[in-house]
Amino acid sequence: MTILANMLNPTGRRLAAGCGVVVSLLVGASAAPAQEPIKIGLVAALSGGSAKSGEGITRGLTIAIDEINAAGGLLGGRKLMLLRRDDESNPANGQTAARELMDQEKVAAMFGGIDSPVALGIVPLANKEKVPFFSVWAAATPITRNGANPNYVFRVSAVDALVDKALVQYARKTFDAKNLGLALVNNPWGESNEKGLAAAAQEQGIKIAAVEKFEDRDVDMVPQLTRLKAANADVIVLVANAAPGAQVMKSLQRIGWSAPVISHWGISGGRFTELAGPWSQKVAFIQTYSFFGLQNPVGQKVLSALKAKYSDIKGPEDVVPPVGVANAYDAMRMVALAIANAGTTDGDKLRQALESIDRYEGLIKNYARPFTAENHDALNENDYIMVHYIGDNIEPIAMK
Amino acid sequence: MLITLALISGAGLGSMYGLLALGFYVTYSVSNTVNFAQGSSMMLGAVLCYTFAVTWRWHPALSIVLALVLCALWGMLVERIAVRPFVVRGSNAWLMATVALGIVLENVTLFVFGKEPRNYPSVLADTPVEIAGFSLQPLQLIIPAVGLLTAAVMHAATRHSKAGKALLAIVQNADAARLMGIDVARAISLSYAASTVFAGIAGILIAPLFNVSSDMGTLFGIKAFAVAIVGGITSAWGVILAGLLYGILEALITGLLGSTYTQILTFAVVILALALMPNGLFGRAGVQKV
């Protein structure tokens, strides 16, 4: 442009500048009708041993967003746009990604992934920046019960304190457990469950034989399991994600100990059956939803949308993992409802709108006052189900 | 019982560290340089073998051989683009260049191979066998055996083959070797190929136990370098022995104290060993005649 300008005499230059101004005004004017999208952020594990969890959450959010956009968007026709960032299960990466989404992209709301340590790292940032942050998988109790007031962190997912109660109860009722052996991953999520399981065991009158921990990247858990066996544990309670959980099962196979194994849902976030082999079928674990069996109208609608959009989903057995999809779908729809009610994407007003949602007929259940000022967890222990792997499919266990 | 189990699994892992460290030894003794992409080379062997044998369902023997051939070519590539240009200029930048190349390989693998760890199914790692009252997977016994065999083969090759003797000659005096008509540049290239083949063997051996992923080799490479230094990077049997000791130490600490303390204590021991014996357990101080 400058070369051209230098070639013209002063009058010519002014003419060229004038034309430039007119052209950009015309272009700008014609672009005006396109509305600014409402940005929604997702910080989750999109790579590594729990990549499947990130994929499930993405699908749940996408189905919900597609529905909302097809119905005309929000706030006068603005479409929703999903921005995803991979936290690689690393809290530092998660915080960097969250900051970028909130400060640069100015997302209206953020969703989190499977890793509790990452979510716990994002919680103070979300509260500081006043951007609603939804956990749709990470279950550590202090994520929503974080002591902040006002609290911008919400959750449509399981809560460790309640999951631990359910797991202990299942161990008692199904296996008549008296001496639990805990095999926990050594991170804040493992710790959250250590507390929860201890409290639940005491409440329900059974003992904890021993607590053994392992690192997320460990491959050999034989020493820890040998010690649990020596402590006379009759049922093993496992809290780990897919990769270390699989190694626990492989180690169990190696020492030939066939104690029943009850697990939190971390193992469903990755290729557990492939990594653990045949002993993966022995684990009973917890979920908040199953696409098997009779679905409510929302469930049928979501299942059809999944089948239509993703070629690898031909039936409920292919929606793996179901919780990521279901939790994320309901959470996104509730955020949309709150945005519509609040009439704005302002963080503080959005938070208040979320706390005032009266009814939402959702996928997992019909929610009545899902969130209040004191309670930011939409699901409770009545919404959990126990499942197991049959082949690669997650199917409900018929309750005794 | 725990101790014996620790010894067995420690011997297996230790021989893998030793094998990787052998790679460091081979290149260092011939050229005074090391391939810091050794950990990624191990991953390359595992990933290639997985792709051939599991994804494309080729015959296992063919997959292993082809994976190792490609590892050798990768080693020669590393030498050609990350080591030789700097050495001829008298620069030490090959240190960072090989590290960087390793990182590049890991990330390329991340894109091509995928983001998740995959299971390498092997009949040797499936059903445990009962040996002397212990439940082991056959692979756990095969790994140390193959590791020691590889070291023995290398030892024999250097003593009894022409190429091996040429290698020894270069180690003793590179200039004299050059004067005697030995192609030093080619020998260095071959030493890099050998180092990555060792790494590839290690990767293929542990793939059924550890799962295959793009970052499976990083920590291995670091530990193997520590092992190479502790073993005395100028002694082949020294590094193998150091690898075994390190692996057993690691397994004992995990078995007795739990895996939370493993890294802290093993690396503390490495520092202590080097403080007491700076040339490594089996190395000798280099004498520079003035």
Task: Give residue-wise pLDDT tens across range B201-219.
Answer: 999 998 988 889 888 888 8
- Higher pLDDT, residue A126 or A21: A126
DSSP secondary-structure letter at B89? T
Size of interface A-B (CB pairs under 8 A): 74
Range scoring the smallest mean pLDDT among A95-109, A185-199, A307-321? A307-321
What is residue A4's predicted lDDT score, i.e. its pLDDT?
54
pLDDT of residue B148: 85
Alpha-carbon distances of A317 from A207, A384, A390, A393, B55, rounded to whole Å = 37, 19, 10, 5, 23
Residue from B107, B110, B116, B263 whose CB has the most chain A CBs within 10 Å, to mutate: B116
Record: contact B259-A186, CB cut-off 8 A: yes
- Residue B131 CB partners (closer than 8 Å, separation 6+): B141
Q: For residues B73 and B193, is the Cβ–Cβ distance under 8 A?
A: yes
Q: Residue holding tokens 């409290």?
A: A199
A1 in a structural domain: no
Same domain for A221 and A142, yes or no, is: no
Taking the alpha carbons at both ends of chain B, their separation in whole angstroms is 56
**Final residue in a domain of this structure, among A236, A265, A287:** A287
Q: What is the pLDDT of residues A237-277, one digit of tens each?
A: 999 999 999 999 988 988 889 999 999 999 988 889 999 98
**What span, in angstroms and rounded, lies between the C-alpha atoms of A337 and B225?**
57
Same domain, A168 and A275: yes
pLDDT-based confidence at A27, cuts 50/70/90? low
Q: Are residues A42 and A107 in the same domain?
A: yes
Q: Is the dihedral of CA B179, B185, B188, B190 positive or negative?
A: negative
Stretch B162-173: mean pLDDT: 81
Domains and CATH numbers, chain B: 2-276 (1.10.3470)
Q: Is the pLDDT of residue B233 over 80?
A: no
Q: Strand A393-396 vs strand A385-390: parallel, antiparallel, or unpaired? A: antiparallel
Residue A390 pairs in a beta bridge with A393
Please state which of the ranges A187-196, A335-344, B55-64, B252-261 shows the lowest mean pLDDT.
B252-261
Q: Is residue A58 part of a domain?
A: yes
Task: Look at residue A116 and tell me if it is in a domain.
Answer: yes
Greater model confidence, B116 or A11: B116
**pLDDT number for residue B290:** 66
Question: Does A71 score more than 50 pLDDT?
Answer: yes
From B145, B163, B138, B160, select the one nearest B240 (Cα to Cα).
Answer: B145
Length of chain A: 400
Cα A95 to Cα A101, A117, A130, B101: the distances in Å are 10, 11, 15, 28
Average of per-residue pLDDT across B241-247: 91
- Do A189 and A266 belong to one domain? yes
> How far is Cα B190 from Cα B173, in angstroms, rounded to an integer?
18
Predicted local confidence at residue B289, as pLDDT = 61
Most B-contacting residue of A55, A185, A220 (CB-CB within 10 A), to test interface: A220
Flag whether pLDDT at A110 surpasses 90: yes
Look over chain A and give the mean of its residue pLDDT values, rounded to a whole number. Answer: 89
Is residue A298 located within the same domain as residue A267? no
Query: Which residues of chain A neighbour B211 with C-beta distances below 8 Å?
Result: 219, 243, 246, 275
- Same domain (yes/no): A87, A173: no
Q: In this structure, what token pair is assigned to residue B38?
A: 């050794």
Examine the domain organization and report whether A106 and A169 are in the same domain: no
pLDDT at A25: 60
- With beta carbons less than 8 A apart as the criterion, state whether B274 and B228 touch: no
Q: How far apart are CA A72 and CA A177, in angstroms?
A: 53
- 3-state helix vs strand vs coil in chain A, percent to 5: 50, 20, 30
DSSP β-bridge partners for residue B131: B134
Q: What percentage of chain B carries pLDDT values higher than 70?
A: 97
At A132, list the tokens.
Answer: 């609603």
Residues A190 and A152 in one domain: no
Distance CA B116, CA A45 (A): 10
Interchain pair B116, A52: CB under 8 A: yes
Q: pTM (2 decimals)?
A: 0.78
- Of B125, B107, B114, the C-alpha closest to B205 is B125
pLDDT at A96: 96
* DSSP β-bridge partners for residue B136: B129
Per-residue model confidence (pLDDT) at position B239: 87
- Given A287, A313, A340, which residue is the final one in a domain? A287
In a domain, A339, yes or no: yes
**For residues A277 and B123, what is the distance between their CA atoms, to the nearest angstrom?**
12
A46: nearest CA in chain B?
Answer: B115
Report if residue A397 sits inside a domain: no
Q: Which SS3 state, helix, strand or coil, does residue A248 take?
A: helix
- Asked if B23 and B4 touch (Cβ cutoff 8 Å), the reply is no
**What number is the ipTM of this complex?**
0.76
Residue in B115, B127, B131 to test binding to A, most A beta-carbons within 10 Å: B115
Q: Is the pLDDT of residue B262 over 80?
A: yes
Sign of CA dihedral B114, B115, B117, B119: negative
CA distance A118 to A87: 8
Which of the residues B214, B222, B253, B259 would you substitute to probe the A interface, choosing the one with the greatest number of A C-beta atoms within 10 Å?
A: B259
Tokens of A256: 């030939």
pLDDT confidence of A399, banded at 50, 70, 90?
low
| B173: CB partners within 8 A, 6+ apart | none
Least confident of B58-72, B136-150, B275-289: B275-289
Inter-helix orientation angle B236-257/B218-231, to 10°? 120
Asked whether the beta carbons of residue A274 and residue B119 sit closer than 8 angstroms, the reply is: yes
Please state the rounded mean pLDDT for residues A157-180. Answer: 93
Q: Is the dihedral of CA A113, A193, A161, A253 positive or negative?
A: positive
- Residue A394 domain-assigned? no
pLDDT at position B287 is: 62
Q: Which of A133-137, A280-284, B272-276 has the lowest mean pLDDT?
A: B272-276
B56-82 b/e (C-beta count within 10 Å ≥ 16 → b): eeeeeeebbebbbebbbebbbbbbeeb
* Angle, CA of A239, A286 and A64, to the nearest 5°: 110
Q: Is residue A7 part of a domain?
A: no
* pLDDT at residue B139 in the model: 83
Which structural domain, as residue segments, surrounds residue A126? Answer: 38-158+293-380
pLDDT of res. A32: 47
Q: Which of A186, A254, A270 lies at the smallest CB-CB distance from B116? A: A270
* pLDDT tens digits along B103-136: 999 999 988 988 788 888 887 777 777 777 777 7
Do residues A166 and A381 lie in contact, with contact meaning Cβ atoms separated by under 8 Å?
yes
Residue A399 domain-assigned? no
User: Is there a single domain that holds both residue A42 and residue A148?
Assistant: yes
- Which pLDDT score is estimated for A340? 93
Band of residue B150 on the pLDDT scale cut at 50, 70, 90:
confident
A392–chain B Cβ distance below 8 A for any pair: no
Contact: A277, B211; criterion CB under 8 Å: no
pLDDT at B199: 95
Q: Which residues of B touch A214 (CB under 8 A)?
A: 258-259
pLDDT at A26: 58
Token pair listed for B202: 């290690």
Distance linking the first and last C-alpha atoms of chain A: 78
The pLDDT assigned to A318 comes to: 85
pLDDT band at residue A198 using 50, 70 and 90 as cut-offs: very high
Query: Could you give the CA distance from residue A243 to residue A119 in angstroms, rounded to a whole number?
Result: 19
- A173 and A280 share one domain: yes
- Whether residue A113 is found in the same domain as residue A54: yes
Asked whether B81 and B177 are in contact (CB, 8 A), the reply is no
CB contact under 8 A, B259 and A219: no
A274–chain B Cβ distance below 8 A for any pair = yes
In the listed set A254, A269, A287, which residue is the last one of a domain according to the structure? A287
Q: Is residue A321 reached through a cis peptide bond, with omega within 30 degrees of 0 on the bond before it?
A: yes
Q: How many domains does chain A have?
A: 2
> CATH code at A175?
3.40.50.2300
pLDDT in tens, A328-381: 999 999 999 999 999 999 999 999 999 999 999 999 999 999 999 999 999 988
Task: Say if residue A295's pLDDT is above 60.
Answer: yes
Contact residues, A window 156-215, toward B, CB-based 8 Å cutoff: 186, 212-215
Same domain, A67 and A54: yes
pLDDT at A400 over 50: no
